[in-house]
C-alpha cells in the first residue's frame, strides 16, 4: 500500500508494482552517486525543469532501494516502465517532493 505521508510513490516496472521511497539511506546513496552537484542542486534541477534522464534513473533506483529493492541501475536499462519516460520522470519528481514534504501542513520544500 502506498502511503504518501511516508513518502511512498508507486511505479509499475515490467508489470510489477513497486513502492518507492527516499529513506535517509537511499538519499545518502543517491547523493554519493550523483554525477554532478549535491542533492539540493538535484532538487533545483527538477524545480527548473533542467533535470536529465540520468537524474530520473538515479532517483528511481534510490526510491526502489529505499522501498527494499535489491537491484541496481543497469537492471532497469531494458525494463518496461508503465507510462514510459514521462511516468518515470513524474514519479522521480514526486519522490523528491514527498521526501521533503512537511506532514503537518502538506507544504513541500527544501
Does any domain span residue 53?
A: yes
In a domain, 87, yes or no: yes
State the average pLDDT for the chain: 88
CA distances from 99 to 20, 28, 77, 84 (A): 11, 13, 25, 23
Residue 77 lies in a domain: yes
What band does 51 get if pLDDT is binned at 50, 70 and 90? very high
- Report the number of distinct structural domains present in the chain: 1
Residue 109: inside a domain, yes or no? no
Instruction: Report residue 105's pLDDT band, with 50, 70 and 90 as the boundaries.
Output: low
Which residue range(s) make up the domain with 43? 4-99
Residue 58 lies in a domain: yes
Predicted confidence (pLDDT) per residue in 13-44, tens digit: 999 999 999 999 999 989 888 877 888 899 89
- Whether 18 maps to a domain, the answer reads yes
Does residue 66 sit within a domain? yes
User: Taking the complete model, does pTM exceed 0.75, yes or no?
Assistant: yes
Instruction: Enumerate the H helices of 1-110 as residue ranges.
Output: 24-33, 39-48, 53-66, 84-99
- CA gap 89, 46 in Å, rounded: 9
Domain-located, residue 108: no
Amino acid at each position: 500500500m502506498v502511503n504518501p505521508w511516508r513518502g511512498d510513490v508507486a511505479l509499475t516496472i515490467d508489470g510489477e508494482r513497486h513502492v518507492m521511497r527516499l529513506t535517509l539511506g537511499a538519499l545518502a546513496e543517491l547523493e554519493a552517486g550523483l554525477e554532478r552537484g549535491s542533492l539540493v542542486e538535484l532538487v533545483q534541477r527538477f524545480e527548473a525543469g533542467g533535470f536529465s534522464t540520468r537524474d530520473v534513473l538515479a532517483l528511481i533506483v534510490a526510491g526502489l532501494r529505499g522501498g527494499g529493492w535489491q537491484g541496481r541501475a543497469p537492471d532497469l536499462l531494458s525494463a518496461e516502465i508503465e507510462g514510459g519516460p514521462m511516468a518515470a520522470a513524474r514519479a522521480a519528481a514526486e519522490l523528491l517532493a514527498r521526501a521533503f514534504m512537511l506532514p503537518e501542513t502538506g507544504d513541500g520544500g527544501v
